[in-house]
Chains A and B, each alone.
Chain A
Amino acid sequence: MSANLSSILFLITGVLFILALRGLSSPETSRLGNFFGIAGMVLAIVVSILSVDILFTNLIYFIIALSIGGIIGGIIAFRIPMTAMPQLVAGFHSLVGLAAVLVAVSAYYSPDSFGLGTFQNIKTASIIEMGLGVSIGAITFTGSIIAFMKLQGLMSGSPITFTGQHYLNAILGILILSLIFYLIVNQSSQIFWILIITSLLIGFLIIIPIGGADMPVVISMLNSYSGWAAAGIGFTLENTALIITGALVGSSGAILSYIMCKGMNRSFLNVILGGFGTDSSSNVSKEKGEQKPVKSGNAEDAAFLMKNASSVIIVPGYGMAVAQAQHALREMVDKLKKNDVKVSYAIHPVAGRMPGHMNVLLAEANVPYDEVFELDDINNDFGNTDVAYVIGANDVTNPVAKTDPKSPIFGMPILDVEKCKSVLFVKRGMSPGYAGVDNELFYRDNTLMLFADAKKMTEDIVKNLD
């Protein structure tokens, strides 16, 4: 296939990918969008194969590799529970990162096949792009593995910090830039490998200080990185499809990171530097809070309250995902609707462990998406709602975000559940949320605490609604 024809076809691939993202602007068009995405990918693979010299043995190995990957990917896609989406996406990002590293290493050792020059005599522009691509790819790889392990519970979700952490990261960052510079100058394979190892190390180091509830930002950020890595490789290979895709994914991840940071009223830098909620000031308020009286109730009380309400708003959080309570919740809502209670769902932008996490879980439980509202669309309704059922959420409802400038969550947009006539909190205990801040709502007269596992409690309420 001529280079011009393949370039045009790669451009079409890029356009199909743009249409794939465009489709996600509404659930109705989203499936067509996904189809465009698949079409674009098939086109890209076919064009690439037609553009290389087909060697029989290599073709066999290629088909075997594609089948192994396809089977593994297919099995994962069908088996994965929806609650595990955050770690799945993190795991997938690590694969993109590693693939970028492998392609870059391969291009470094046989640049002639890629049309980049000869070994250790690669075109300057290509070696710069290769250096950047391999470095971002390596950071994405280890960073995503740490994010995966934290989300999967293979390592503690709490921030891991040590003295001099930021200095170490800064030094390594400067080292990476100097290594890329030296790589351009002498193209030595030693420098190339040291660059890879340093990048792997910094990917690991930048994610360990970031705590569990900041994962929505981290996942979006790694999403963005995987895009920039692809774009870097795209420049190296002079491939339009990769450049367009890399830019799309890169900006998509960056926008999601921005939305998530805004949802917490924190700067991106603040999240990345990590260690949130570990400062001593927040512990003080925790101790004070434990002495205040709390009204706690059981499933019967909750069922009675909601049955006699005319409207209920459900506020789900990460606790719902952990307890897998979404199906029980839907059952509860169905029963309430039979009793002519108006029910809607309120989703905070950072509820859960990744952007849109709660929406997917509710969709899995067959909740119609037109009953699910974003913060801005529903926040005014709390004032004329009878009951808020807060299931596995805490910080995102804490009014201290509006009242106490000293609080670590001050300025964070919150769901105004306090304006409801009564508030039900399903929680396992009195422990404060991720931010380490006590929630004064727990002690209010119109708040009823339901201490139990979210799924168990919801199921009990369902029984009591009969």
Chain B
Amino acid sequence: MEIDPFIFRLSIFILSILIGYFVVWSVTPSLHTPLMSVTNAISSVIIVGAIIASFSSSGGNISFSNILGFLAVILAAINIFGGFLVTQRMLQMYKKKEKKKNK
């Protein structure tokens, strides 16, 4: 009997939860705020759905689904750029002291 592809996706999902569990426990507590901002940024990978919606064909006209797609692209883009840049900014602050310490 063939296995439903859903089962494969479910397996990926469960294993990813476990990976997330172990990886996140190893995050140092002083970086918990950057952890939140970076998880926020990566959850904007939902933009892949927004892209499909933006390009769903509708005989040449811009459809309702396309408009929703574009709006979702804007929201996801705010998160992607905002999330990664603010994380970078925070991590940069942790770096300055490293240098000072080495002097």
Do B91 and A244 touch (CB < 8 A)? no
List of A residues within 8 angstroms of B48 by Cβ: 10, 44-45, 47-48, 237, 239, 241-242
List of A residues within 8 angstroms of B101 by Cβ: 368, 370
Do A80 and B86 touch (CB < 8 A)? yes
A295 at the binding interface (Cβ < 8 Å): no
Do B58 and A110 touch (CB < 8 A)? yes
A96 at the binding interface (Cβ < 8 Å): yes
B55 touches which one: A55, A96, A360 (CB < 8 A)?
A55
CB nearest to A28 among chain B residues: B98
A369 at the binding interface (Cβ < 8 Å): yes
**Cβ contacts B64-103/A at 8 Å (1 or 0 each):** 1110111111111111111111111111111111101100
* Segment touching B, from A35-43, A164-172, A309-317: A35-43
Interface residues on A, range: 35 or more
Do A27 and B91 touch (CB < 8 A)? yes
* Segment touching B, from A246-254, A268-276, A385-393: A246-254
Do A246 and B38 touch (CB < 8 A)? no
Do B82 and A92 touch (CB < 8 A)? yes
A24-B28, A110-B65, A363-B90 given; A38·B54 CB < 8 A: no
CB-CB contacts below 8 Å: B23-81 with A: 23-58, 60, 62-66, 68-81
A103 touches which one: B37, B72, B83, B100 (CB < 8 A)?
B72
**Cβ contacts A18-56/B at 8 Å (1 or 0 each):** 101110111110110110011011001101110011110
CB-CB contacts below 8 Å: A186-235 with B: 219-220, 223, 226-227, 230-231, 233-235
B73 touches which one: A38, A66, A245, A255 (CB < 8 A)?
A66
**Interface size in chain B (residues, C-beta < 8 A):** 86
B63 touches which one: A110, A240, A250, A356 (CB < 8 A)?
A110
Nearest CB of A to B4, in Å: 8
Nearest CB of A to B72, in Å: 4
A73-B81, A366-B100 given; A99·B75 CB < 8 A: yes
A185 at the binding interface (Cβ < 8 Å): no
Do A20 and B38 touch (CB < 8 A)? yes
Nearest CB of B to A71, in Å: 8
B38 touches which one: A37, A227, A237 (CB < 8 A)?
A37
Do A103 and B36 touch (CB < 8 A)? no
List of B residues within 8 angstroms of A33 by Cβ: 38
What is the bound-complex CA distance between A244 and B39, given in angstroms? 12
List of A residues within 8 angstroms of B39 by Cβ: 21, 223, 227, 248-249, 252-253
List of A residues within 8 angstroms of B23 by Cβ: 18, 21-22, 248
* Segment touching B, from A82-90, A396-404, A412-420, A449-457: A82-90
Do B42 and A20 touch (CB < 8 A)? yes
What is the bound-complex CA distance between A177 and B40, given in angstroms? 27
Instruction: Add 4 more A-B contacts to A21-B23, A240-B9 (CB < 8 A).
Output: A34-B84, A37-B41, A73-B83, A360-B34
Top 8 closest pairs, chain A to chain B, by CB: A69-B77, A113-B56, A356-B32, A73-B81, A73-B82, A247-B16, A77-B85, A251-B20
A residues with CB within 8 A of B = 10, 13-14, 17-18, 20-22, 24-28, 30-31, 33-34, 37-38, 40-41, 44-45, 47-49, 52-55, 57-59, 61-62, 64-74, 76-78, 80, 82, 85, 88-89, 92-93, 95-96, 98-100, 102-103, 105-107, 109-110, 112-114, 125, 219-220, 223, 226-227, 230-231, 233-253, 255-256, 259, 347, 349, 354-357, 359-360, 363-364, 366-370, 372, 374
